[in-house]
Amino acid sequence: MSRLIVFNQVSADGYFTDANNDIRWAKERNRDPEFQAFVADNAKSGGTLLFGRVTYEMMKSYWPTPEAKKNDPVVAEQMNILPKVVFSKTLDEPSWNNTRLVKDGMASEVRKLKKESGPQMVIMGSGTIVSQLTNENLIDEYQFVVYPIILGKGRSMFEGVQDKLDLKLKKSRTFGNGIVLVTYETR
């Protein structure tokens, strides 16, 4: 069976976007060499990437560009070659390499993917998908990259989650730039 992992950046007060749906606040600390090495190694872990339309469009507007290849060559290569699934009722045709569009039945599609043997699946960003799949008890692990910043307002990736979810700490890692990676498994 394949595992489903959420890998998301959050502020210390729990928001994955600010009040304007912007994530640039996270980029300010990313130029730390230790953290960059972690991101490059993490990108090599492979798997299938799952996105909602908004995050998909944001990612495809950057990762296939010459700028991404220059700034983050390892991550750009992986983002461009890994298989991707985008869940959207409004997208007509995905244009990013190795992407499959699923218009309906997200939870049933994820159940089907989880039953297949193969690499892990990773949701990056896509807060609406995170909350919907959390409600369906389909997520196996949550990896939060916690940035030492208070936004005050923003979006929680768990808006709409209906039931309390008890998590178990799997591991944590602190980086020299103040970022903390916290990994939880579902019980």
Percent over 70 (pLDDT), the chain:
98
Mean of pLDDT values over 41-70: 93
Show the domain range for 85: 4-186
CATH number at residue 16: 3.40.430.10
Residue 125: band (very low, low, confident or very high) from pLDDT cuts 50, 70, 90: confident
Number of domains in the chain: 1
How much is the pLDDT for 22?
Answer: 87
Mean of pLDDT values over 33-53: 90
How much is the pLDDT for 88?
Answer: 96
Residue 29: band (very low, low, confident or very high) from pLDDT cuts 50, 70, 90: low
Mean pLDDT score of the chain: 93
Task: Name residues whose C-beta falls within 8 Å of residue 43's C-beta, 6 or more positions apart in sequence.
Answer: 74, 75, 78, 79
Of 25-39, 50-64, 171-185, the least confident: 25-39
Mean of pLDDT values over 115-131: 90
Residue 36: band (very low, low, confident or very high) from pLDDT cuts 50, 70, 90: confident
Give the pLDDT confidence of 69-115 residue by residue, as tens digits: 998 899 999 999 999 999 999 999 999 999 999 999 999 999 999 99
Residue 53: band (very low, low, confident or very high) from pLDDT cuts 50, 70, 90: very high
